[in-house]
C-alpha cells in the first residue's frame, strides 16, 4: 500500500520524488535538531540549581584550628579535613617524601600551599568512607577496609590506590582559605 | 513487505536485525500498522482532524515537563509554594519547564475541545464508533481531574480555595457525602494529607490517560477515521496511508500549534492564570473572587446557574455525562453536519452557548449573569434533548457518492 | 470549510473571553515590558535602596539574597559590601527584622512578603506603583471614597481595593533614601524605582525568558514553513 497514487502522471513522478525526498530530509533534519535543542533545558534542569551552587564555595578561618589538631568541615556535602600541623608533623611528612613505602608517590610540598595547613578531602579514595584519625603513619585510617594515610594524606596501605584528594582552594589572606 | 528487493549488503544491516526482531516481537510493524503506512485513512480529512494527534503530543509534553518538575517539587504544605519558587528561580531552566507545563495544560484543553467539537460536527460519535466516543469522554473526564489536582499543587490561594470548593461539591452525595469529603481530604479541611495525595494522583492519572489513549486508538482502528462527508469509504482509492500523508500533515499542524503555544510560554505565561495564586494558601482568608481555570468555566457556570446546590452539581456532571448517550439521542442516519441543515445550526448554537457559559462562569454570580447562565444552561441541555426530534423531522441534503 | 474557520476564530477568542477583569490602575511604560536587553543596574540599585531601607522595616523579600544581584551586573565585591551594610552574608535571605507576630500586633494582619508582590496583585507592577503613590490626606477625596470615614487603624489609599489600607504610607516624603547617583529621590521616583526592583524580585527570569523566546519562535516559524512545503510536495498527487 506504500505505493503513491501517481500513476496518472508517470513522468512528473521522478522530479517530484526527488524534490519530495529533499524536502522531507531537510524538514526531518531541522526537526530533529530542534528536538535535540528542546531536550537541553530538561537535561540542564537536573544539574545543580543556583542555591546549591551558591554553597559550592566555603570560606574557612584558619585561626579557629589550634596547632597540631585537625578539624572537619562540610563542603559540597562531603567532609574536608584541615590539619594545622606542628613542626614535628611537618618534618615527619617531609621525611617520608623519599620513602619507598608511598603507594602513590608525591612529595609533601606538592600537596600543600602553606606547609602548616594540610587540606584534604575526608573521603577514602577506595569506596568513599570517611577515614578516622589514627593508623600507623600519623595520619588517618579508613574504618571500612583499613586503608591508611600518613600526615600528608598519602596512601600507605591499600586497598585504596591513591592519596587523599586535595580540594581546590586558595588563600584569600594569611589566615583564611576559600575552598571551591 | 511482499516484494523483497534483491539482497544488498547495506540492506542486510537493516533488514536482518529487523526480521530477527519482527520474528520475536513484531513491534515495528505494529506501530507501522497503527500510525504508519499500514493505517489507511480517508484522503479528505481536513485540518480539524489534526487535533487528535495534537492532543497526543500535548499529553506527552505534559508528562515530560511534569516529570522534570516532579524532581524539584515538594508536596508538603510548608514547602510546596517555596519549592515552586525554587523551580522558577534556582533550578537551571526551571522557569521554562514550569511555564511549558502551566501553559501546556491550557493548550491541551484548547486542543481537546476542538477535537470534541470536530467529533460533534461530523457525527464521529455515531455507529459504529460509539465506544471510541465513550473512551474519548472518559479521557476527557480524567484529564479534567488531572488538571484540577495539578492546580492544587502550587499551594497558592486559588489552589487552596479551588480545592476546597470543588471537593465540597461531593458533600451532596446522599447520606455519605460528608464522610466522602473527609475521606478525600484525609482531615477536616483541605490540608497536608490532601496535598500529598493529590500529588500522588496527579502523577498517576496521566499514565492512566496514556493507557486509555491506546484503547481509544484501538477502537479507532476497528472502523477507521470518520471524514468530513461522514460517509463510509467504498473504494480503496479513497484512502491513503497515514504515513507519510497524515504524519507530515500532523507535523505541519504541530508547527502551527507550537507557535502560539511558545509565544504564550515566553511572553504571556501568566495570562491564563490568576494573580491570587502567587499568594501562599491561607485557610483563614478567601480571595474576593474565586474563579476556576478558564477550561472549567462553562461547567462552573452551569453549577452556579441552578440555585439548588444538589441539582447544580448533578447538572454540572450531567453536562458531560450526557455525552455518553449522545449516539442514541441522535438517531439520524447521516453523520456529517454538512448534510444536516438543522443539526448544523444547532451545533453552532451549542458551541456558542459553551462560550457564553465560559464567559458567565468568570463573572460574579449576581443579577443578569445568573439569569443568562440559566438561559445558556437551558440551551446547552436543549441541544441534546432536541436531537431525537430533529433526527426525525430534518430532511438531510443528498449525500455524495464518494468522499470529496 | 466554514466550520473550520469558525472553530479557528473561536479558539483564538476563547482565552480572551474567559480572562477575568483587573483592578483599574493607571498603566505605565515600564522598560521591562517589550524586549529589553538587560536590567537597568542603576535603577535596580536605587530600587534596592528603597526596598532595603524603607520596605524592609516591615516586609521581607524571602526569595532574594544578595548573591542573586550578581546575575544582573553587580560584582561580587559590590554585593558583599551591600550585604555587609545590612549585617548579612550574601547568601542570607532578605527578611525583615520585624517578627511576624509583632507585625500582626502592629497592623492587625500579616505583612506580606514582597518578593512576588508584582505577580500577586491584579494590575501587577502598575498596581504596586499606584498603591505607593496612592496615599492622600485631601479630606474631600477621602470623604468621596469613604463616606463613613477611614476605619480605625487604616489609611486612605486610592488604588487599594476598598480604599482602606492597613499599611501607613511608606514613602512619607522626598529624600527618604540617599541614592548612589544624581537622581532626585522624589516620592514618585522612589515608588518607580522600588517597583522596578520588585519586578526583578518577582520575575528574575524575565529577560532570559524574553530573549530565548525570540530564537524559539524564529526556529518554529522556519520549521513550520519547511513542514508546509514538505506537506505540499508529498500531497501533490493526492485528490
pLDDT one-digit tens code per residue, A78-110: 999 998 888 888 888 888 887 777 888 888 888
Considering the domain architecture, whether residues B52 and B153 belong to the same structural domain is answered as yes
pLDDT higher at C107 or A10: C107
Going by the DSSP 8-state scheme, the letter that residue C146 receives in this structure is -
| Domain final residue, candidates B264, B290, B316 | B290
Lowest mean pLDDT among A33-42, B9-18, C159-168: B9-18
The pLDDT, as a whole number, for residue A96 is 80
Tens digit of pLDDT for each residue in A12-32?
456 678 888 899 999 999 999
Helix, strand or coil, per DSSP, at residue C207: helix
Q: Roughly what angle, to the nearest 10 degrees, separates helices C124-132 and C187-202?
A: 150
Q: Where do the DSSP E strands lie in chain A?
A: 58-61, 70-75, 78-84, 117-121, 132-133, 138-141, 148-150, 155-157, 169-173, 176-179
| Residue C89 sits at the chain A interface (C-beta within 8 Å) | no
The pLDDT, as a whole number, for residue B11 is 64
The pLDDT-based confidence of A8 (bands split at 50, 70, 90) is: very low
Residue A80: strand pairing partners: A73, A121
3-state helix, strand, coil in chain C (%, to 5): 50, 5, 45
B12 occurs within a structural domain: no
The pLDDT, as a whole number, for residue B10 is 60
Distance from CA of A178 to the nearest CA of C (A): 14
Q: Which residue of A has its CA nearest to C91?
A: A54
Query: Residue C9: enclosing H or E segment and its boundaries?
Result: helix C2-18
- Interface probe, candidates B53, B278, B350, chain C, greatest C C-beta count within 10 A: B278
Chains in contact with B, where contact means 3 or more Cβ–Cβ distances below 8 Å, are A, C
Q: Nine-digit cell at B309?
A: 446546590
Chains in contact with A, where contact means 3 or more Cβ–Cβ distances below 8 Å, are B, C
Res C207 pLDDT > 50: yes
| Residue A1 sits at the chain C interface (C-beta within 8 Å) | no
Residue tagged 482568608 (cell numbers): B285
Q: CATH second-level architecture of A53-179?
A: 3-layer Sandwich (2.102)
Interchain contact, A45 vs B241, CB within 8 Å: no
- Max alpha carbon distance in chain B (Å)? 79
Residues of B labelled as active-site residues: 221, 225, 249-250, 293
The pLDDT, as a whole number, for residue A118 is 87
Lowest mean pLDDT among B53-67, B201-215, C94-108, C209-223: C94-108
Interchain contact, A49 vs B86, CB within 8 Å: yes
- CB count, 10 Å around CB of B157? 22
Which residue, B225, B241, B232, B361, is CA-closest to B303?
B361
Are the C-beta atoms of residues A164 and A149 closer than 8 Å to each other? yes
Are the C-beta atoms of residues C47 and C196 closer than 8 Å to each other? yes
Interchain contact, A52 vs B90, CB within 8 Å: yes
The pLDDT-based confidence of C26 (bands split at 50, 70, 90) is: confident
The pLDDT, as a whole number, for residue B3 is 56
The pLDDT, as a whole number, for residue A2 is 41
- Interface probe, candidates B107, B255, B280, B347, chain C, greatest C C-beta count within 10 A: B255
The angle subtended at Cα B46 by Cα B45 and Cα B48, nearest 5°, is 115
> Cα separation of C203 and C209, whole Å?
10
Q: Are strands A176-179 and A148-150 parallel, antiparallel or unpaired?
A: unpaired
- CB count, 10 Å around CB of B68? 22
Q: Using CA of residue B79, residue B84, residue B90, residue B94, what is the dihedral sign?
A: positive
Q: Which residue of B has its CA nearest to A51?
A: B90
| Domain final residue, candidates B290, B309, B332 | B290
User: Which residues, in sequence order, are CB contacts of C36 under 8 Å at separation 6+?
Assistant: C207, C210
Distance from CA of A36 to the nearest CA of C (A): 13
Phi (first) and psi of residue C145, to 5 degrees: -80, -40
Per-domain residue ranges for chain A?
A: 17-47, 53-179
| Domain final residue, candidates B290, B307, B341 | B290
Interchain contact, C7 vs B294, CB within 8 Å: no
The pLDDT, as a whole number, for residue A37 is 95
The pLDDT-based confidence of C20 (bands split at 50, 70, 90) is: very low
> Cα separation of B370 and B307, whole Å?
9
Considering the domain architecture, whether residues B133 and B98 belong to the same structural domain is answered as yes
> Cα separation of B51 and B398, whole Å?
28
Phi (first) and psi of residue C68, to 5 degrees: -65, -25
Phi (first) and psi of residue C173, to 5 degrees: -170, 170
Tens digit of pLDDT for each residue in B72-125?
999 999 999 999 999 999 999 999 999 999 999 999 999 999 999 999 999 999
Chains in contact with C, where contact means 3 or more Cβ–Cβ distances below 8 Å, are A, B
Considering the domain architecture, whether residues B285 and B296 belong to the same structural domain is answered as no
Distance from CA of A9 to the nearest CA of C (A): 9
The pLDDT, as a whole number, for residue A6 is 45
* Residue range(s) defining the domain that contains residue B364: 292-404
Tens digit of pLDDT for each residue in C27-73?
888 988 888 889 999 999 999 999 999 999 889 999 999 999 999 99
Q: In chain B, how many domains are there?
A: 2
Q: Percent of chain B scored above 70 by pLDDT?
A: 97
Using an 8 Å CB-CB cutoff, list chain A residues near C237: 4-6, 8-9, 12, 16
Considering the domain architecture, whether residues B242 and B120 belong to the same structural domain is answered as yes
Considering A65-74, B329-338, C163-172, the range whose residues carry the highest mean pLDDT is B329-338
Query: For C6-25, what is the mean pLDDT?
Result: 55
Phi (first) and psi of residue B211, to 5 degrees: -60, -45
B163 occurs within a structural domain: yes
What secondary structure does DSSP assign to C20-48, as a single string?
Answer: PP---------TTSS--SS--HHHHHHHH
Looking at domain C2-204, which of 3.10.105.10, 3.40.50.1100, 1.10.1060.10, 1.10.760.10 is its CATH number?
1.10.760.10
**pTM of structure:** 0.89
Residue A94: strand pairing partners: none
Q: Using CA of residue C184, residue C188, residue C191, residue C196, what is the dihedral sign?
A: negative
B360 occurs within a structural domain: yes
Radius of gyration for chain B, computed over Cα atoms and rounded to the nearest angstrom: 24
The pLDDT, as a whole number, for residue B13 is 81
Using an 8 Å CB-CB cutoff, list chain B residues near C116: 85, 278-279
Considering the domain architecture, whether residues B245 and B354 belong to the same structural domain is answered as no
Q: Which of A84, A126, A137, A145 is catalytic?
A: A145
Per DSSP, helices labelled H in chain A are 10-44, 50-54, 87-95, 108-111
> Cα separation of C235 and B241, whole Å?
11
Res A67 pLDDT > 90: no
Distance from CA of B184 to the nearest CA of C (A): 29
Query: Residue B135: enclosing H or E segment and its boundaries?
Result: helix B130-152
The pLDDT-based confidence of A69 (bands split at 50, 70, 90) is: confident
What interface predicted TM-score (ipTM) does this complex get?
0.91
Interchain contact, B262 vs C204, CB within 8 Å: no
The pLDDT, as a whole number, for residue A15 is 65
Q: Nine-digit cell at B196?
A: 500529598
pLDDT higher at A7 or B277: B277
Interchain contact, A1 vs B93, CB within 8 Å: no
Using an 8 Å CB-CB cutoff, list chain C residues near A5: 237-238
* Residue from the list B89, B269, B274 with its beta carbon closest to the beta carbon of C63: B89
Residue A114: strand pairing partners: A117
The pLDDT-based confidence of A5 (bands split at 50, 70, 90) is: very low
Interchain contact, C223 vs A27, CB within 8 Å: yes
Q: Which residue of B has its CA nearest to C11?
A: B110
| Residue A50 sits at the chain C interface (C-beta within 8 Å) | yes
Q: Report the CATH number that the domain containing residue B400 is assigned in CATH.
A: 1.10.287
Amino acid at each position: 500500500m506504500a505505493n503513491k497514487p501517481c500513476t496518472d502522471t508517470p513522468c512528473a513522478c521522478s522530479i517530484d520524488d526527488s524534490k519530495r525526498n529533499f524536502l522531507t530530509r531537510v524538514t526531518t533534519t531541522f526537526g530533529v535538531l530542534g528536538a535535540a535543542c528542546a531536550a537541553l533545558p530538561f537535561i540542564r534542569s537536573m544539574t545543580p540549581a543556583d542555591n546549591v551552587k551558591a554553597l559550592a564555595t566555603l570560606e574557612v578561618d584558619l585561626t579557629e584550628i589550634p596547632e597540631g589538631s585537625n578539624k572537619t568541615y562540610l563542603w559540597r556535602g562531603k567532609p574536608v579535613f584541615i590539619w594545622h600541623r606542628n613542626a614535628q608533623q611537618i618534618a615527619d611528612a617531609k621525611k617520608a617524601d623519599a620513602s619507598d613505602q608511598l603507594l602513590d608517590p608525591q612529595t609533601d610540598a606538592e600537596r600543600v600551599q602553606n606547609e602548616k595547613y594540610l587540606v584534604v578531602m575526608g573521603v577514602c579514595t577506595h569506596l568513599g568512607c570517611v577515614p578516622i584519625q589514627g593508623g600507623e603513619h600519623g595520619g588517618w585510617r579508613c574504618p571500612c577496609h583499613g586503608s591508611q594515610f600518613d600526615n600528608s594524606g598519602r596512601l600507605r596501605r591499600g586497598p585504596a590506590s591513591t592519596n587523599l584528594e586535595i580540594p581546590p582552594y586558595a588563600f584569600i589572606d594569611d589566615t583564611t582559605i576559600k575552598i571551591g | 513487505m511482499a516484494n523483497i528487493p534483491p539482497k544488498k549488503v547495506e540492506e542486510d544491516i537493516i533488514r536482518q536485525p529487523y526480521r530477527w526482531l519482527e520474528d520475536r516481537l513484531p513491534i515495528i510493524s505494529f506501530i507501522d500498522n497503527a500510525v504508519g503506512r499500514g493505517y489507511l485513512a480517508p484522503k479528505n480529512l481536513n485540518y480539524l482532524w489534526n487535533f487528535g494527534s495534537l492532543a497526543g503530543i500535548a499529553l506527552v509534553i505534559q508528562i515530560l515537563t511534569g516529570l522534570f518538575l516532579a524532581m524539584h517539587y515538594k508536596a508538603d504544605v510548608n514547602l510546596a509554594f517555596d519549592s515552586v519558587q525554587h523551580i522558577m528561580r534556582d533550578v537551571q531552566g526551571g522557569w521554562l519547564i514550569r511555564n511549558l507545563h502551566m501553559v501546556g495544560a491550557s493548550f491541551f484543553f484548547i486542543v481537546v475541545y476542538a477535537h470534541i467539537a470536530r467529533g460533534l460536527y461530523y457525527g464521529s460519535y455515531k455507529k459504529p464508533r460509539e465506544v471510541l466516543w465513550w473512551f474519548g469522554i472518559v479521557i476527557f473526564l480524567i484529564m479534567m481531574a488531572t488538571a484540577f489536582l495539578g492546580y492544587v499543587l502550587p499551594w497558592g490561594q486559588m489552589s487552596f480555595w479551588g480545592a476546597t470548593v470543588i471537593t465540597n461539591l461531593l458533600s451532596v452525595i446522599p447520606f455519605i457525602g460528608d464522610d466522602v469529603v473527609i475521606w478525600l481530604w484525609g482531615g477536616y479541611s483541605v490540608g497536608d494529607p490532601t496535598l500529598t495525595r493529590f500529588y500522588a494522583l496527579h502523577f498517576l492519572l496521566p499514565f492512566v490517560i496514556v493507557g486509555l489513549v491506546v484503547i481509544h486508538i484501538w477502537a479507532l482502528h476497528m472502523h477507521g477515521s470518520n471524514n468530513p462527508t461522514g460517509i463510509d469509504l467504498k473504494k480503496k482509492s479513497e484512502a491513503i496511508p497515514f504515513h507519510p500523508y497524515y504524519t507530515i500533515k500532523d507535523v505541519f499542524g504541530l508547527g502551527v500549534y507550537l507557535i502560539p503555544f511558545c509565544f504564550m510560554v515566553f511572553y504571556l505565561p501568566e495570562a491564563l492564570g490568576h494573580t491570587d495564586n502567587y499568594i501562599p494558601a491561607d485557610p483563614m482568608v478567601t480571595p474576593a473572587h474565586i474563579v476556576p481555570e478558564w477550561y472549567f468555566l462553562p461547567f462552573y457556570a452551569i453549577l452556579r446557574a441552578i440555585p439548588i446546590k444538589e441539582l447544580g452539581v448533578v447538572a454540572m456532571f450531567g453536562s458531560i455525562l450526557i455525552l455518553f448517550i449522545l449516539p442514541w439521542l441522535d438517531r439520524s442516519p447521516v453523520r456529517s453536519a454538512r448534510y444536516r441543515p438543522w443539526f448544523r445550526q444547532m451545533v453552532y448554537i451549542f458551541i456558542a452557548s459553551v462560550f457564553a457559559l465560559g464567559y458567565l462562569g468568570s463573572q460574579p454570580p449576581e443579577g443578569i449573569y445568573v439569569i443568562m447562565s440559566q438561559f445558556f444552561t437551558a440551551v446547552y441541555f436543549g441541544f441534546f434533548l432536541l436531537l431525537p426530534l430533529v433526527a426525525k423531522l430534518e430532511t438531510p441534503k443528498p449525500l455524495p457518492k464518494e468522499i470529496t | 470549510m466554514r466550520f473550520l474557520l469558525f472553530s479557528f476564530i473561536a479558539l483564538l477568542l476563547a482565552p480572551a473571553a474567559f480572562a477575568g477583569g483587573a483592578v483599574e490602575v493607571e498603566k505605565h511604560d515600564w522598560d521591562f515590558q517589550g524586549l529589553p536587553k538587560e536590567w537597568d543596574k542603576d535603577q535596580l540599585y536605587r530600587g534596592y535602596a528603597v526596598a532595603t531601607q524603607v520596605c524592609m522595616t516591615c516586609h521581607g523579600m524571602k526569595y532574594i539574597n544578595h548573591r542573586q544581584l550578581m546575575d544582573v551586573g553587580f560584582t561580587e565585591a559590590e554585593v558583599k559590601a551591600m550585604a555587609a551594610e545590612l549585617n548579612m552574608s550574601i547568601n542570607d535571605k532578605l527578611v525583615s527584622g520585624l517578627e511576624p507576630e509583632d507585625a500582626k500586633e502592629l497592623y492587625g494582619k500579616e505583612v506580606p512578603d514582597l518578593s512576588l508582590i508584582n505577580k500577586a496583585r491584579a494590575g501587577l507592577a502598575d498596581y504596586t506603583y499606584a498603591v505607593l503613590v496612592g496615599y492622600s490626606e485631601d479630606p474631600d477625596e477621602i470623604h468621596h471614597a469613604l463616606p463613613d470615614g477611614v476605619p480605625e487603624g487604616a489609611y486612605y489609599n486610592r488604588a487599594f481595593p476598598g480604599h482602606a489600607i492597613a499599611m501607613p504610607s511608606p514613602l512619607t516624603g522626598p529624600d527618604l533614601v540617599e541614592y548612589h547617583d544624581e537622581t532626585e529621590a522624589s516620592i514618585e521616583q522612589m515608588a518607580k524605582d522600588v517597583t522596578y526592583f520588585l519586578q526583578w524580585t518577582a520575575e528574575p527570569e524575565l529577560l532570559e525568558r524574553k530573549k530565548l523566546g525570540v530564537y524559539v519562535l524564529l526556529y518554529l516559524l522556519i520549521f513550520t514553513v519547511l513542514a508546509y512545503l514538505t506537506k505540499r510536495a508529498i500531497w501533490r498527487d493526492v485528490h
